[in-house]
Structure 1
Amino acid sequence: GGPPENWFATASGVDYFTLENHSHFGTGTNEAAQDPSFGGADIMQVPRAFVELIGGTGHYLSFLNIDGNFNMPIFGFGTQNTDTAQFNIHDVYARNRNSNDEIGSTSTGSSGRWGPNVYIRLADNAANFTESLVLGGSHAFAPIGVVNANGEISGTDFESSAGGTSSSGQTISRDI
């Protein structure tokens, strides 16, 4: 047994996982602080990720308000060996209180869409868009906004109708 590592997880072969209209407000402490062997009161009440979708196709996540302390990406799609196809995540506010700063991670062979309307708050004062979303084979659709602990704002180009490519090579698109 033991507590789960993720709030929601799928295995390879599970298709069309849907999560809509969900709010999650997690703890503001880390796993070590929770573990009794480190002086905490409870065993690992902080999950490592919120959603981890391994494989499958057609996953849909929308209208989410997620606030927690995750030491892995809040949203993970695919792994090194198993890709996730045609996922769609939009209309999301996500805050990671962990300095890991990864909100979303997608394996290279996975395909899907981030956005529009994804808003991200990070715990690190130097983090930015390319650190918070690792797009792999997926695409980002504006608007996507990221604010770090220092109040600096980054994200997709809210004014341009052309979209483009971020400095890390991630594809940014804009619905017009």
Structure 2
Amino acid sequence: MVGDGYSWLWNNPVTREVTRCPKRIADLIWSDHHKGGYGSHRVTEKIVEVVPTNMLNIPSYARWFVRMAGISGATAVALGAYGAHVFYRREYPEELKQVYETANRYHFIHTLALLGVPLCKRPKLAGALLITGTAVFCGTCYYYALTGSKNVRQYTPYGGMLLIVGWLSMIF
């Protein structure tokens, strides 16, 4: 199959494991049917998952950031839908609509960045900075766009700085 353009696919350890799964399940069903019969109550052997050594081992505490990315992504989609279907159609100044759009764009971008946090050397630091920065930056922008009140706009640059430091913490 080398040279068919799909060799990269079969060299991937995840793809190899996924394609072997149906065969393993079929082998279990087939072997139970022929060895013990339908009415047999014999115990089948336990299947143990063996993770290939060349796959990443992500600590369980770092997987929390993937869950947070799920929550953040769902929130970003909901706020984006609200903006498209309700907020943009109302009579608001164009400046507030641009601020809302900026908040939603940064919300999405930094939600995707959270997915990469478990791969960092210090995921707790990078994740905490990105989550806090997103909440402060996007939260203050959303608040300003929805209310027109400028009393929280003074905190927006701090959220931006936290996002910058969060991205930089992913390098070290």
Which TM-score tier does this pair reach, normalised by the shorter chain? Answer: under 0.3
| Greater strand share, structure number | 1
Higher helix share: 2
Larger radius of gyration: 2
TM-score of the superposed pair, with normalisation by structure 1:
0.21
